Structure 1
Amino acid sequence: MTDRLRLILFDVDGTLVDSQASILGAMAAAFAATGQPAPDRAAVLGIVGLSLDHAMARLAPTATAKAQADLVAAYKDAFFAQRLAGAAPPILYPGARETVERLAAQPGTLLGVATGKSRRGLDALLESLGMERSFITRQVADDHPSKPHPSMILTAMAETGVAAADTVMVGDTSYDMDMAQAAGVAGIGVSWGYHAPAALAAARRVIDRFGDLPGAMDAIRKETR
């Protein structure tokens, strides 16, 4: 009997790539352009992973709905301007490319993305990294409620035909782990991202290196059989 299909979903910012320089720069530009008091670095990194409307509501809670919408638009403009200006793409974390390629080469293993990025932003990033063919399902903020709503994971499972017991969500924030729990799948937290490991309480495992990911997944799979 052959093994069942396995689906591995990755968050992007703070998990696959270190994009904090781009995020912090675009956020500073957005708040400056709209005349809003700028949040500090910790506050900005704390909302990475949320959809932009939810992120701005947290960063500017006393602003009007229109002002928050203006911040979203200004952030998108600033991020796009960075790309037009030839800014260097975010850097893959050590071991990310090798691990993704190794997993993608395994028979019966499917890879996907579940991210708070827009589709335009995700596609541009993956193309710049030469990873546009690595992920067969791409779930983005354009099409779903913000994390930790389980919609992204549930849709990815429906697209690939993989059951919850054979699906893993890999991410660096509490939003990723809470999303995994809400979808009924195992969450693997990574310690190198934007939330402290202590915040990843809903994770089944927390890893410190990308190279530890295959072993963590195998251990979880054995537990669920």
Structure 2
Amino acid sequence: MKQHLIFDLDGTLIDSAPSILHCFGLAFSTTNTPLAAPLTHDVIGPPLMETLKRLSENEDAALLNMLASAFKQHYDTTGCLESVVFDGVTALLQQLKDQGYQLYIATNKRFYPTERIMAHLGWQAFFTGVYALDYFNPPLKSKAEMIGRVVADNALAVEDCLYIGDRLEDGISADANQMDFALVSWGYAGDVAMRKPHWQSCAKVQDLAGLISTL
């Protein structure tokens, strides 16, 4: 039985795409920077600076820092609070908590807006720990490293853990830690047919608790 459930955030528990894409658009328009790539759902998930490099097709540090500051100005004030919870997720978290599972978040989203979202949704009591790359100093380099920190910091047995996310990167990060993974397809995963054979998959929030109980 899996006792420790580690969740991705964007695209897994919340639909943050509309607010994130809107704030990216504002960041580029207010800095008079041309967008070099379309603002589509597939840009949601990677760390902020990685996404800005992709959207600008530019690696100039000064430009990227200016775009990051503009994005944070919009997203960290009101944008992050416009995230929408996927139907059934709050009830799912309550059910899993009541059943004795220990819940964690491991997200590429920066810690400050993540913390604001948790407070806004009243979710703090659900989670034993909330992890973000920039929570650490220096920041962690990858989601795989972050999942490893969840395991190490909480003295978890990896065989008792399940990582749950909506992107192929999430599964690859779980694999790097020899951790079981469940790919959910209600988020931004795109072609779930690309999933690896040993991964679990779930198409509906309402079915996730049942899947977890079988592992």
TM-score calculated relative to the size of structure 2: 0.89
Instruction: Answer whether contact 1:8 1:110 (CA < 8 A) is retained.
Output: yes
1:165-184 maps to which residues of 2 (within 5 A)? 165-184=159-178
- 1-side partners of 2:54 and 2:178: how far apart? 27
Q: Deviations over 1:39-72 (max 9, x none)?
A: 3132xx2232211112212222234122122212
- In structure 2, what is the equivalent of residue 215 of structure 1? 210
The amino acid across from 1:211 in the alignment is: Q
- Structure 2 unaligned runs (5+)? none
Aligned to 2:63: 67
Pick one of 37, 50, 53 that aligns with 1:54: 50
Instruction: Give the root-mean-square deviation of aligned CA atoms.
Output: 2.0
Query: CA separation in 2, counterparts of 1:183 and 1:211?
Result: 27
Tell me which residue corresponds to 1:27.
24
Q: Which amino acid aligns with 1:79?
A: Y
Query: Structure 1 residues 217 and 183, CA, compared in 2 at 3 Å: closer, same or farther?
Result: same
Q: Counterpart of 2:82 in 1: which secondary structure? A: coil
Superposition deviation, residue 117 in structure 1: 1.5
Please say which of residues 151-160 and 60-69 is displaced more in the overlay.
60-69
Distance across 2 between alignment mates of 1:18 and 1:76:
18
Give CA deviations for 1:132-166 in whole Å, capped at 9, x if unaligned: 1111111112134354x412111111222221111
How many angstroms apart in 1 are the aligned matches of 2:168 and 2:11? 12
How far apart, CA to CA, are the structure 1 residues paired with 2:163 and 2:197?
Answer: 11
Does 1:188 find its partner at 2:186?
no
Match of 2:94 in 1: 101
Distance in 2 (alpha carbons) for counterparts of 1:91 and 1:188: 22
Q: How far apart, in 2, do the equivalents of 1:77 and 1:130 lie?
A: 23
Do the aligned partners of residues 146 and 27 (structure 1) sit closer, same or farther apart at CA in structure 2, a change above 3 Å counting? farther
Q: Which amino acid counterpart does residue 42 of structure 2 have in structure 1?
A: G
> 147, 151, 157: which is aligned to 1:153?
147
| Aligned partners of 1:187 and 1:202 also within 8 Å | no
Aligned partner letter, 2:124: E
Match runs of 1:118-133 below 5 Å: 118-133=110-125
Matches within 5 A, 1:79-98: 79-82=75-78, 89-98=82-91
Structure 2: which amino acid aligns with 1:208? A
1:178/1:202 contact within 8 Å kept: no
- Identity over aligned residues, as a percent? 25
Unaligned regions of 5+ residues in structure 1, if any?
none
